[in-house]
Structure 1
């Protein structure tokens, strides 16, 4: 049976049990829990500093009404980063390479921001569909274009996260396969290819963190338009 490079993105099962459920629950086990001590250890202090800095940077431009989303978006950020990073380990599965999972995150959160805008300030929310000073003949066309762009937002969120992680994993597997094939034939070229693979892995670690940040940042921008 010939294995495909895309087999790594298939959801694994064991005894009929989908292991994606284990992968989704694992991040919450890895993070240390706050203690009742007056002073935290170094790991808890670093974790608290990271969460505070991220929350401050994301929610500083938002009004007070959007600060209610702080716990939700911060938890989503940590969740996505952990899934992306764990997927870089050998013999692991990355759930965020599944478009269905990413769309399950993107669509409800995007829809919630739209509903909030339509409920509390419908005039301001509908005003985004038609820029001020638009010539009268272009009004129907611009409304259609802005409506389409509004409904494309969740698709763009899910596809961006899926495509970046999938491309990175495929490239790593391609270069690793090339290094393994070239090792008995041209050891020097295989060594250089392995060095390239190491640098690419570091780049993929950065991509895993940046894409989780971009996903939450765009959600905060959509929220900023509606609060």
Structure 2
């Protein structure tokens, strides 16, 4: 029973073909594309408003050098949100529950921010490893601690996204299983459990959007330190 709960996080295969590639490509197909009409439809107008507001809020603290990342960060936000939301549908697979995929996003982007900081402003980038006013005996210890915290950043990005989505999906499956078991035995309790499952699903939708936003927001903060 315990193993069956984690089967939903296994990458599905069909005729020897990994379906994770299809899951990664599906969000781009679902997003509406601009048309040649003067007036856009409601869905495209709402999407453009959301993208503009998100990009403005994300890039307002950054200098002009960081604005070059606008397209990359906005696309990553929409991509992660779509993957997280699609994974809540029945008979679907959530690629962002795989730590390897999340680390594949986190490590190159984090490394790019570090390389940009070392190339453009090496003194300031290395100055983050030693806070100003540190007593001389604590300098070696603080440099080691700050270096470890710097290399832990991509791991924290990937693990945070994986853990939140995995925990939410597991909790939804546990409550759904309990509701099915209690339905013939205690219908009243089963109805209450179904109501709790509905509220938890709404919470998981919010978590899917918030975790994608937090992932991109932390990347923008790392970029802000290095531009």
TM-score range, shorter-chain basis?
Answer: over 0.9
Count of residue pairs brought into register by the alignment? 227
What secondary structure is seen at the aligned counterpart in 1 of 2:62? coil
Q: TM-score, normalised by structure 2?
A: 0.99
CA-based RMSD of the aligned residues comes to 1.0
CA distance in 1 between partners of 2:154 and 2:197 (Å):
33
Within 5 Å, which residues of 2 pair with 1:46-195? 46-195=46-195
CA distance in 1, matches of 2:181, 2:24: 34
Shift of 1:205: 0.3
How many Å separate the matches in 1 of 2:220 and 2:13? 35
Separation of aligned partners in 2, 1:2 and 1:135: 52
Partners of 1:3 and 1:104 in 2: CA distance: 26
Please report the TM-score for the alignment, with normalisation by the length of structure 1. 0.99
Between the aligned partners of 2:2 and 2:203, the Cα distance in structure 1 is 29
- CA deviation digits over 1:194-224, x for unaligned, max 9? 0000000000000000000000000000000
Structure 1 gaps of 5+ residues are none
Stretches of 4+ aligned residues off by more than 2 angstroms: none
Structure 2: distance between partners of 1:216 and 1:106: 10
Residue of structure 1 in register with 2:16 after alignment:
16
Counterpart in 1 of 2:25? 25
Q: Secondary structure of the residue that 1:213 maps to in structure 2?
A: helix
Q: Distance in 1 between matches of 2:169 and 2:88?
A: 8
The 1:3/1:114 distance shift into structure 2, 3 A limit, reads closer
Structure 2 equivalent of residue 206 of structure 1 = 206
Distance 1:79 1:65 in 2: 24
Partner of 2:184, secondary structure, is: coil
What do the CA deviations read for 1:83-119 (whole angstroms, capped 9, x no partner)?
Answer: 0000000010000000000000000000000000000
